[in-house]
Structure 1
Amino acid sequence: MNLTFSDRISGVKPSAIREILKLSTDPGIIAFSAGNPSPDAFPVEAIAQITAKVLRENPVGVLQYSLTEGYPPLREALKTWMDTRCHALREFDDLVVVAGAQQGIDLICKTFCNEGDVILCEDPSFIGSLNCFRSYGAKLKGIPMDGDGIDLALLEEALKTTPNVKLLYLIPNFQNPTGITMSLEKRKAVYALAKQYGALILEDNPYGDLRYEGEDVPTLKSMDEDGIVLYCGSFSKVLSPGLRVGYVLAHKDIIPKITVGKQCTDVHTNILAQHICERYMAEYDLPAHIEDLRVLYRKKRDLMLDSLAKYLHPAVTFTHPQGGLFIWCTLPDGVDMMAYAAEAIKRGVAVVPGTAFLADESASSQSFRVNFSTPSEEAIVKGCKILGDLSREWIG
């Protein structure tokens, strides 16, 4: 069979993470490559009770077609959440429920970007979003990061000199893959630059509630006096990724266009899953559940940081994230990172090569990403020792 695929999809490579995750199904592999919530993180009993209740009391309502914008009580609950918890709701804002933040990112790109338009992003950045942008024919321009977020001087230079910049894509909290959190001062400066040069900010915040130390930093959306920030949130890391429920908060003139784009994609987000999220917010204590997650993940993060410090060669550096799910490790110059990652898999540990997260797919990286939420505590220690032994063999 002779198949000719579209230019849009032909140039998009499979996600390196998803390919590596295939290896993670092998019980003999320690999956530092995943980004999944811990198996202990799900409120299974509460979700089972809610599901049984809504199917008993309102079966047609959760089995029939529904509104593209989302289940109205959930939309209102999310607006209240964004207003009271994040101080990020303006009179000009509205909200649409989407099938996870990934769909929100896809719909925003679909809404604003023509082929050849430029999207600025942190470098490195989340591979799922980068591939989404590539699928629409957008050009990616990566901006290197400092310890407190994107490099402001290089960002301004890119905004000033690059034609057709449509979006600035940012993960300000516990960034994937680096774990870096953008400082308050830098957030204010980024917002000012975007406003000055007429760029929209796409703020992706799936990890913001998972803070284990330090003080919360206001979202970019909370600074948005001009309607230029589009905010993507999700239940995936605080309730369940399998439910596939997220949301986009943006200016009310933008939401109808996103809604039309969603109608063309899937009509509406799973309505049973929306009811589950709304009922959990209404009848259970979501902030208390988030605090339990913080306790769970803080312990695992600390264990991985301690184990990396204990076992890795001193020349290998790594970030100390204040929250989120990831740590970014960097090998010294002269060590072949891709070969190191390949050898690690042979020895039973899967990590994600840093090249997967770069805006320029042909660029090289000395870094790799590890995750502490998915593996058990025993696996964290064992995996770090394997990586450490390997590093000491290769670095000497």
Structure 2
Amino acid sequence: MPAQLSDLGSTVAKQEVAYATLRDAILGGVLGVGLTMPSTRALALRWRLSRGTMETVYDRLCSEGYLCRRRGAGTFVSATIPDSYLMARPMEPQREATVEDARSERTQSNSYKQAERDVRVGTPFVARLPDPDLFPLKDWSRHVAKTIAANSAQIRGKADPAGLPSLRMQIADYLRKFRNIDCGPDDVFMTSGIRHAIDLICRAFVTKGDKVCVEDPCYPFAYEIFALSGAAVAHVPVHLAVHLDGIQTSILRRHGDAKLVYVTPAHQSPLGMTMAVSHRLELLEWAESNDAIIIEDDYDSEFSYSGAPLPALMSVDRSGRTIYCGSFNKTLSLDMRVGFVVAKGDVRRTLSDIWRLVGRSTGLAEQIALESYLRTGAFARHLRVARHAYVQRRDCLLRILESRARGLYLVSGHEAGLHFLLWLRNGQSEAEFCARAASEGIALQPLSAFCCQTVFPPTVVVGYAALAMHQIEEAGAKLAAILAENSQCAALPRDGGRRCDV
């Protein structure tokens, strides 16, 4: 590490330089796991910074999992690239899939799709829905009219198959600032959303019979797209803990022959936890060792309520094996069918060949309007308004449940996103609870609808973002009453199928 901050250059803010220096030293192994860090006072003196600046840097590194603080003991490095994972691991025999397995998975997937078909904005407590009333339609209409008029010649011209260059530049700038991804407009490809992105990635990298790993539980449509591509899908369970966690890399290492893995590290879909830094590094090491591709679905990263989200997985990938996917249908409107993919190096070149053939699917007029929306700061303002509204709705619902059904449930995954998980402690099954809720006009999705092989204790997914406050108050009281109907509180099981600790 440098002796003085002046050694690092003067073009970047001092706080950012100090943060990047320590983070890179940890990732590079210069600061090894368990190492005791200098005090903020000592390091501030050494680098000629204020102690407050170093406290902010340490707090950020702690929140991202690179450092940990122990009262009375000091600050320690808590994440490193594990060299032991480079060693070959014996493959465990995998049970052959049966007809019953396929039938079970198809039933679960159909359950999820039926729930999505039944989605109605304003129905409590349907998950994965933003509030359409928060989308400033008049403001958006002005952007559409103004920008299309100013770019009429461009609309009539030949479109770039990768997408509008100026929009890709705005997205790259946004990702650099808010997701720490070092990318340029040539690394960005426009899509109509996450499903479109996964489909095109499959066309580029997956051939029939290739193994693809997915989280379990997972976004069911991702699994179905991989299956349609002819891939052999392997389900890798997800750690479930109170603290940051994610895909079980110890099990993933059994799949050294996998071509690709799909993950949601920012806000696991649907469990809601954030993938720990140590697991991110293990995942990247696995991909590099096995010549595999990582699809990073940055699900719900814009809606973090307990502080800034961890930087994207792609931001710490030095091998260029991560493909980053994002969309605007949760941040702006469900009908805003605009998404994007970010890829680098050889991966980008392979995707580019596919995009030239089949990648064009997003209207140029929408792209032009969205470019203006990003460039003028309107998108950032909308996100601030939406985050404030959603956290108020979440807190209102949690207060109602706490006051009327305390001790009859557990909550997790509520620190971010548009939903949380409600773990039942009243002895009811998911099916019984969902049926009882439906009789009161409440739509709940069972967690089992997202699972393929992993079995969890009875749990339901509770969405709150698309509801007005009076709807939350009325439906929240009904939900609490249903929880309280069977007050014989059963102990929450800790095992079922694969072990899942709450």
Q: Does 1:19 align with 2:111?
A: no
**Matches of residues 29-178 of structure 1 in structure 2 within 5 Å?**
30-59=123-152, 61-62=154-155, 66-89=159-182, 94-138=187-231, 139-147=233-241, 148-150=244-246, 152=248, 155-159=249-253, 161-162=254-255, 164-178=257-271
Q: Does 1:297 align with 2:390?
A: yes
Deviations 1:152-196 (A, max 9, x none): 4xx22332x235312222111222212212233332333233333
Partner residue of 1:244 out of 328, 331, 337: 337
Aligned CA distance change for structure 1 residues 187 and 284 (closer, same or farther; 3 Å): same
What SS does structure 2 have at the residue aligned with 1:174?
A: coil
Partner of 2:299: 206
Q: Does 1:351 align with 2:444?
A: yes
The TM-score with structure 1 as length reference comes to 0.86
Kindly indicate whether the alpha-carbon contact (under 8 Å) linking 1:123 and 1:145 is maintained by their aligned counterparts in 2: no
Q: Which moved more, 1:263-272 or 1:243-252?
A: 263-272
Kindly indicate whether the alpha-carbon contact (under 8 Å) linking 2:236 and 2:251 is maintained by their aligned counterparts in 1: no
User: Hey, what's the Cα distance between the residues in 1 that align with 2:376 and 2:411?
Assistant: 41
Kindly indicate whether the alpha-carbon contact (under 8 Å) linking 2:260 and 2:294 is maintained by their aligned counterparts in 1: yes
Deviations 1:305-329 (A, max 9, x none): 2223334462421215222111012
Aligned CA distance change for structure 1 residues 311 and 52 (closer, same or farther; 3 Å): same
Q: Which moved more, 1:341-350 or 1:181-190?
A: 181-190
Aligned CA distance change for structure 1 residues 257 and 314 (closer, same or farther; 3 Å): same
Equivalent residue letter for 2:238:
P
Kindly indicate whether the alpha-carbon contact (under 8 Å) linking 2:431 and 2:446 is maintained by their aligned counterparts in 1: yes
Kindly indicate whether the alpha-carbon contact (under 8 Å) linking 2:172 and 2:184 is maintained by their aligned counterparts in 1: no
Aligned CA distance change for structure 1 residues 96 and 252 (closer, same or farther; 3 Å): farther
Q: CA RMSD in A?
A: 2.8
Kindly indicate whether the alpha-carbon contact (under 8 Å) linking 1:21 and 1:34 is maintained by their aligned counterparts in 2: no
Deviations 1:333-366 (A, max 9, x none): 95321222122112210011112211339x6762
Kindly indicate whether the alpha-carbon contact (under 8 Å) linking 2:445 and 2:461 is maintained by their aligned counterparts in 1: yes
Kindly indicate whether the alpha-carbon contact (under 8 Å) linking 2:410 and 2:422 is maintained by their aligned counterparts in 1: yes
Kindly indicate whether the alpha-carbon contact (under 8 Å) linking 2:266 and 2:309 is maintained by their aligned counterparts in 1: no
Partner of 2:37: none
Kindly indicate whether the alpha-carbon contact (under 8 Å) linking 1:117 and 1:165 is maintained by their aligned counterparts in 2: yes
Task: Give the deviation of 1:83 after TM superposition.
Answer: 2.1
Aligned CA distance change for structure 1 residues 115 and 78 (closer, same or farther; 3 Å): same
Equivalent residue letter for 1:144:
V
Bigger-Rg structure (1/2): 2
Partner of 2:465: 373
Deviations 1:77-110 (A, max 9, x none): 2122222332212589711111112211222223
Partner of 2:49: none
Aligned CA distance change for structure 1 residues 125 and 83 (closer, same or farther; 3 Å): same
Q: Which moved more, 1:261-270 or 1:292-301?
A: 261-270
Equivalent residue letter for 1:116:
G
Deviations 1:227-249 (A, max 9, x none): 01110111222223312111111
Equivalent residue letter for 1:131:
E
Partner of 2:434: 341
Equivalent residue letter for 1:367:
T
Task: Give the deviation of 1:213 after TM superposition.
Answer: 1.5
The TM-score with structure 2 as length reference comes to 0.69
Task: Give the deviation of 1:38 after TM superposition.
Answer: 1.0
What SS does structure 2 have at the residue aligned with 1:254?
A: helix
User: Hey, what's the Cα distance between the residues in 1 that align with 2:278 and 2:262?
Assistant: 18
What SS does structure 1 have at the residue aligned with 2:340?
A: strand
| Larger relative contact order, structure 1 or 2 (CA cutoff 8 Å, min sep 6) | 1
Alignment gaps of 5+ in structure 1: 1-10
User: Hey, what's the Cα distance between the residues in 2 that align with 1:166 and 1:391?
Assistant: 44
User: Hey, what's the Cα distance between the residues in 2 that align with 1:358 and 1:191?
Assistant: 24
Deviations 1:131-163 (A, max 9, x none): 2222223313131223222254xx22332x235
Equivalent residue letter for 2:206:
C
Equivalent residue letter for 1:75:
R
Kindly indicate whether the alpha-carbon contact (under 8 Å) linking 1:236 and 1:244 is maintained by their aligned counterparts in 2: yes
Q: Does 1:326 align with 2:419?
A: yes
User: Hey, what's the Cα distance between the residues in 1 that align with 2:336 and 2:357?
Assistant: 21
Aligned CA distance change for structure 1 residues 209 and 197 (closer, same or farther; 3 Å): same
User: Hey, what's the Cα distance between the residues in 1 that align with 2:331 and 2:342?
Assistant: 18
User: Hey, what's the Cα distance between the residues in 2 that align with 1:189 and 1:92?
Assistant: 29
What SS does structure 1 have at the residue aligned with 2:326?
A: strand
Task: Give the deviation of 1:373 after TM superposition.
Answer: 0.7
**Matches of residues 257-336 of structure 1 in structure 2 within 5 Å?**
257-262=350-355, 265=358, 267-312=360-405, 314-332=407-425, 334-336=427-429
What SS does structure 1 have at the residue aligned with 2:239?
A: strand
Task: Give the deviation of 1:71 after TM superposition.
Answer: 0.6
User: Hey, what's the Cα distance between the residues in 2 that align with 1:343 and 1:43?
Assistant: 36
User: Hey, what's the Cα distance between the residues in 1 that align with 2:292 and 2:353?
Assistant: 22
Equivalent residue letter for 2:250:
E
Equivalent residue letter for 1:47:
W
Aligned residues: 381
Equivalent residue letter for 2:175:
M
Q: Which moved more, 1:169-178 or 1:313-322?
A: 313-322
User: Hey, what's the Cα distance between the residues in 1 that align with 2:354 and 2:257?
Assistant: 22
Kindly indicate whether the alpha-carbon contact (under 8 Å) linking 2:329 and 2:336 is maintained by their aligned counterparts in 1: yes
Partner of 2:314: 221
